[in-house]
Structure 1
């Protein structure tokens, strides 16, 4: 269980997060929706130690994460698939995936997880020799997720996995997110495609200018008139 309590984060004089509290229960998909600049990416970057909090608490299975070095957070079982994919363009698909396992030492386990990633993403196996920079946007997104999975996380943080992708590719990505979750990985998903995110989520939160303004099950928020108007367009279900 990831538990965030009264988390405040500021950049210079700007309050990015204003005392948010939320939970990500084990085995669930939790989504955080909101407009650009609401503080969604800041939330993920604070969990992983990339951004320092002003105050509050981020606990993972009862252990405080704030102030811990990034490698300790990864070793505790948390990985992130970042916004914009951030693959290493000049390295091959295989080299990118192996970098995801850089803190691990057991070569047999790493080889086993490589096969797991290839089962989830057969296209990566077909292209394991190819430079990551020559892949399509959808393939690069699959590689970013696959690389995060190579650390064998218990909690996967996903920042805008559908950004800039064609609708059919988005369907594929969301199917794979569901499959990863079914195989035992807890997921915290940030996504501008609120419709897809709420359909897949067990729990959901709405973040507006650094405050959580609504929460509920994915189905509850999908049916809420305020969410429909703000994030789904009035005519979408």
Structure 2
């Protein structure tokens, strides 16, 4: 579905990505984990065209994404939930959700999809007329995901969905990610929280300073000693 081949990106003479290869197969949850500054967000920015690579290739269903403008990604079925949620704080919950369907014209289906988002996130339904800026961090994350779903994505990319959230809320968000996946959406997760993301990922990649150092199934990486030591806070014997 999405294929990254030998991708290289530099910022001001510093190489942020040093020729990475990554594949997201249709119908899978794929996790890209790594510490802050490893190059995970640069990878996402390159996919959606916000950062121009100096070398390499990104294809989506065989189409070269470098020829697609960022604003047209949504109509291709690619949607990004950005890091830091980025909700429109002075608009209501419902207005934020509707913005996700900005390019759609099918009013009847939009109404159905709003109900679908509310069924996934009952808390948002209770707060339909509340201003997004007054929601808690967890609720804003739910809203950001709900807004992204309104474009009916085929590939949903999420940048650090667990960042700054309490463990209980993280668990809730990840349960919903699995539910969204069951409804036929392919997911690429960019996460520092290796523990939760590897548990639900079919395929996973570990990134360190612009290089992919490990790849395998989520289960394989969860039990990998190097991953445990670096990302799961366990000793090698733990």
Q: How many residues align?
A: 237
- Per the alignment, residue 8 of structure 1 pairs with 8
| 1:50 paired residue number | 50
Bigger Cα displacement from structure 2, 149-158 vs 97-106: 97-106
Q: Which runs of 5+ in 2 are unaligned?
A: none
Report the counterpart of residue 26 of structure 2 in structure 1: 26
**Hey, what does 1:137 align to over in structure 2?**
137
Q: How does 1:153-232 map to 2 (within 5 A)?
A: 153-232=153-232
Distance 1:112 1:45 in 2: 31
Q: SS of the residue aligned with 1:52?
A: coil
Once the two structures are TM-superposed, the CA of residue 67 in structure 1 deviates from its matched residue by 3.4
Q: Structure 1 runs of 4+ off > 4 angstroms?
A: none
What is the TM-score normalised by the length of structure 1?
0.98
Q: CA deviation at 1:106?
A: 1.3
| RMSD between aligned residues | 1.1
Alignment map for 1:112-151 (pairs within 5 Å): 112-151=112-151
Matches of 2:10 and 2:99, distance apart in 1: 31
The TM-score with structure 2 as length reference comes to 0.97
- CA distance in 2 between counterparts of 1:48 and 1:98 reads 22
Following superposition, the deviation at residue 81 of structure 1 comes to 0.5
Task: Give ranges in structure 1 of 5+ residues lacking alignment.
Answer: none
Give the Cα separation in 1 of the matches to 2:92 and 2:100: 13
Q: Between 48-57 and 81-90, report the one with greater CA deviation.
A: 48-57
Give deviations 1:34-63, integer Å, cap 9, x for gaps: 010000011111111111111211111111
